[in-house]
Amino acid sequence: MTASSSAYPMFDASEASIVRERAVSELRYGRPVLLMHGNLQYAVVSLDTATPEILSRFGDIAANRQELFITAQRAQKLGITAPYGALINVSDTDYEQLATIAYGFDTTANPSYRSASESLAKLEILARSALLLPAFMVFEIASSDHRFDGCVMLDAATLEHDSVAEAHFSIVARTQVPLKGIDTAEFVVFRGGVAQRDQIAIVVGSPDMSKPVPVRIHSSCITGDLFGSLKCDCGDQLRKGMQLIEQRGGGILLYLDQEGRGTGIASKMRAYGYQTAGLDTVDADATLGFGDDGRAYGAAVAMLRGLGVSSVELLTNNPRKIAAIENAGFTVRHRTPVLGLVTEENRGYLRTKVRRSGHMIDIESLKIPAE
Ligand SMILES: Nc1nc2c(ncn2[C@@H]2O[C@H](COP(=O)(O)OP(=O)(O)OP(=O)(O)O)[C@@H](O)[C@H]2O)c(=O)[nH]1
Ligand SMILES: [Zn+2]
């Protein structure tokens, strides 16, 4: 084999999605990245992963002029109105105090701040990609400052929510798996999109792709799907969804790698902690800095296209899923509700879904049998 003498690199390492994934990796290891916006450059570290030592070094380099970025949702919890988030003055704030301001249950802090620019609001997108809390230490650096040379540098303008247009997926494996109560099921593994993660489509039976196909788009819920958590209805919905598809004579279940509505298992468990302390699911996420539901359905769209689906019967109570599929050009012929068992433990969660997230569940049906 002869070595290539091409003057061109094998791939374009400046491609926005690759730079973003490198930045994600750096942030998860607690290291700084550079966020560019026009002539401005910000050194940024994640509060979720940076150690006190890293933060202290960061503060030394910034000569104590670093600020804490929090999202608009978290700012609102602190009584601050800032549409793109806020930059909190933290010159004399220790690590514990930073965490309290950034995502603590106690929201009584009254810090001095300035409103963040639109470009810094993009840090929330980066946090979601990295499955980290959306709180960052930020320091604006001069172009003559070379102390962050070597850090991954990304352009804020390239940080957009997972868009369908950029999602390229391909099938890497498909194989039959015998499932309890299901006649035939084929697991089709797709690879692509953000971080080239693997996503699964389960094709039940042999659906006619030229007709409306029964489809459930299911976001992963380790606690509910695997362990039978009583806090939500996910496990029931998963199994009911599969049964409904089987009863229809075949269809597709898309199992999306979107734990905790895309915030990741760590943030979901933190949110559960706040729920135990009395917050509902939406307020618990907002207290951590997250918006109501930031899930993107690019992977679902790509998988349905990859399987040759154009028209669906969607098994869901969530209007956002319908909108996402319709916006991508699919015809939603029919919607079938999927409701799990209502229990004392999940009733509040289901009510919040109806009242605050617009889920189409008959509130009367949320009475538990003994009521
Ligand atoms: N952040 C957060 N995520 C949760 C909580 N409870 C469940 N989840 C996640 O919520 C998602 C629920 O997914 P789905 O059942 O597909 O979606 P849905 O929005 O309920 O819509 P349908 O079930 O289709 O009506 C999963 O990713 C769960 O991990 C919670 O309290 N906080
Ligand atoms: Zn769940």
For residue 274, the ligand closest to its alpha carbon is 1
Residue nearest ligand 1's atom 2 by CA: 260
Position 188, amino acid = V
Q: Where in the chain is the domain with CATH 3.40.50.10990?
A: 169-258+295-365
Minimum CA distance residue for ligand 1 atom 19:
318
Torsion angles phi and psi, residue 266, rounded to 5? -65, -45
3-state DSSP call for residue 267?
helix
- The residues that are catalytic are 293, 295
- pLDDT(349) > 90: no
According to the model, what pLDDT value does residue 163 have? 59
What mean pLDDT do residues 294-323 have? 95
Distance 168 CA to ligand 1 centre (A): 25
Interface ipTM above 0.85 = yes
Question: What are the binding residues for GTP?
Answer: 216-220, 237, 259-261, 281, 316, 321
Supply 90's token pair. 């933290």
pTM, two decimals, is 0.91
Instruction: Give residue for tokens 């650096």.
Output: 141
pLDDT reading at 368 higher than 70: no
φ, ψ for residue 253 (rounded to 5)? -115, 125
pLDDT digits 0-9 by tens, 209-261: 999 999 999 999 999 999 999 999 999 999 999 999 999 999 999 999 999 99
* Span 96-150, pLDDT tens digits: 899 999 999 999 999 999 999 999 999 999 999 999 999 999 999 988 889 999 9
Centroid of ligand 2 to alpha carbon of 273 (angstroms): 15
* CB of 34 closer than 8 Å to CB of 42: yes
Ligand 1 binding pocket (C-beta < 6 A) is 218-221, 232, 234, 237, 258-261, 263, 268, 271, 281, 285, 316-318, 321, 359
Instruction: Give the C-alpha separation, 97 to 77, whole Å.
Output: 16
User: What's the pLDDT band for 3 if we cut at 50, 70, 90?
Assistant: very low
Contact (Cβ atoms closer than 8 angstroms) between residue 175 and residue 186: yes
pLDDT given for residue 158 in this prediction: 87
* Average pLDDT, rounded, for the chain: 90
Alpha helices in 68-201 (DSSP H): 72-77, 95-103, 118-121, 123-130
Ligand 1, closest atom to CA 285? 1
The CATH code for residues 15-158 is 3.90.870.10
Nearest listed ligand to the Cα of residue 318: 1
Q: How far is the CA of 109 from the centre of ligand 2 (A)?
A: 32
Q: Which atom of ligand 1 is nearest to the CA of 290?
A: 1
**pLDDT at 18 (0 to 100):** 85
Architecture per CATH, domain 169-258+295-365, reads as 3-Layer(aba) Sandwich (3.40)
Q: Which residues are annotated as a binding site?
A: 216-221, 232, 234, 237, 259-261, 281, 316, 321
In this structure, the residue with its CA closest to atom 5 of ligand 1 is 260
- For tokens 């993660």, the residue is 197
Cα–Cα distance measured from residue 244 to residue 233, given in angstroms and rounded to the nearest whole number: 16
Shortest-distance atom of ligand 1 to CA 272: 31
C-beta of residue 207 within 8 angstroms of C-beta of residue 214? yes
**SS3 (DSSP) at 104:** coil
Residues of the chain with CATH 3.90.870.10: 15-158
pLDDT band of residue 15 (cuts 50, 70, 90) is: confident
Widest CA span in the chain: 77
Alpha carbon nearest to ligand 1 atom 25, residue: 317
Give the confidence band of 168 by pLDDT, cuts at 50, 70, 90.
Answer: confident
Q: 């810090």: which residue's tokens?
A: 111
Question: Which of 256, 268, 332 to probe ligand 1 with, by most ligand atoms within 8 A of CB?
Answer: 268
